[in-house]
Structure 1
Amino acid sequence: MRTVGCLIFDGVRAFDYAVVGEVWARRPGVPAFDLRVCGPERTRVRLGGGLERVPDFGLDALAGCDLVVVPGVEDPGAPRDPSVLAALREVSARGVPVAALCAGAFVLAESGLLDGREATTHWALAPELARRFPAVEVRPEVLFTGGDGLWTSAGVAAGIDLCLHLVRAAHGQQAAATIARVMVTAPFRAGGQAQFIPSPVPEERGDDCLAAARAEILASLDHPWTVRRMAAAAMMSERSFARRFVAATGTTPLRWLLEHRVLAAQRLLEETDLPVDTIATRCGFGSAVSLRPAFVSRLGVAPREYRRAFRAT
């Protein structure tokens, strides 16, 4: 996934356009990305905030990309250029993955690509997306969702999360971590994590206990962690622990544990020559057979295939 097309047209949000440029910029320590800014007829495009940009390529250049990213739009209800929608349908039919950030999901939905699929967008826009496109299964609670060539994200920071996820899946954790470090952003947030946390400032003592428990769990992923055992590590009852954990992290304890076990397995596959069974045991899966479905559901490939692909790049 070296050649990335950023599709721009009138009304694209300047922030999302800038995110694409930052994530797939050329810099030391990451693959030499070729970012193509594409637009209709290469005419001047009016971005949000009064900015303008002349695309470097026309819409036909999208067909030669390994990934196409659609930034969010300022007005989800504005009509789209039919040539933009046709271009998206064409590249998707060719098998090129397409990702939409924030309200860019409305553009994919208008093109028909999201019919019968799960999708998300900014939580405030999710009801409108569901109303206008009833064939789309809208998930307003998650940061990003997708697979099988089509991805959507929630607003603002979630767009960065999705972009880093796509880099991580194609080029490994080290590349994604390098980009995140330069951008001074979190290197990893799971797509199933809640878009916002209802209680962003938990009780100080509870937060300290939770932080200590999370650190203990991450240091011993091979242990047979249960919610009861996690709660004991945090010195809480199971009910209080589960409630405070969701309030502090936006996800459940077991979902958080699974995401970090997969992340640890991914890192060991990239950085070591350990057998997959050994990696599975170290990360708490017990065996390669148990690791495989969790790995495939999050990254789209089996552990051995991921290792071969990463080593090849």
Structure 2
Amino acid sequence: MTQLTWRNGLDGNETAEVMGLLSEVEDADGVAPAGEHVILRLQAHRGIVEQIEPVQADVGGSEHFVVRGADGVLAGYAHLDTAEEADGGALVAELAVHPQHREQGIGAKLIEALLERANLPTLPDVQVRPTEDGPAGTVTGRLRIWSHGEHPGALRLAERFGFTRFRELWRMGRELAGNELPQAELPDGVTIRAFTAGQDEAAVVRVNHRAFWWHPEQGGMTEQDLLDKQQQDWFDPAGFLLALDDSGELLGFHWTKVHPDGIGEVYVIGVDPEARGSGLGRSLTVAGLRHLQEVGCGQVMLYVEGDNGPAIRVYERLSFRRWDIDVQFGR
């Protein structure tokens, strides 16, 4: 017998349990069940007793669905991002079921709770009836749920509850060890230097916004978000490369990351729209790859939108190949 409860805040013990569950799921499946922003939210949480209003999510629009077995052990968890709800945006969820508690209906129970929270019917044949806003088959995208690594269990649940593929995020990678990389040939008047904390935050946020105004996650990065990430163990300013013109104006950046397992990541590449077409994006990419190779990374990976054909072709020309896919399903 399992019990599901809703939380608008987790205490320290619950947070530790959730982090432990996510870690065990990643070990079992070979892919993290929750994205970086969920982990950052959990790490920055305020406990229930510290909240001012009982209906206020603990960190910038987080809600939590917790499933425990009869013995009280955490068996399943879902994080719901409600940050865009007030502006009519989608609710975005990520969930995980402990490997020892699968095939017990816990994933279905979590999805039913998320659908209820989103004011959507459980049965898909009800959801696709004609409405004033559209014909039969219309999918509103009110609730979106990520499946990292396109997990088979997630695909079955998506089909069962009538979810549609909204978005694909490719993870691409390549070998670095023993491979010669091209030179980072820069446009005239452009130089590259490392990020300086306390000096470059505002310029990076400005260029990031101009480069990613359209992106549902990256485009909203604030200076505080950037400061928070500087506190992460993996942050290394030497691997945060800035491209500047001869007047010192920031044109673009390549923010690299090294994972605990030694795999490097092309974390973010942002180029100001006014500098596009100059080859700066490729130059920054190569400069970051050379840095990751120099610090000993044998492999490098990146994430790219599955429908971003031009970016995918650039990465393929740099010997990247698709490793796996994260899928966002919507109703």
- Using the size of structure 2 for normalisation, the TM-score is 0.31
More helix as a share of residues: 1
- Using the size of structure 1 for normalisation, the TM-score is 0.32
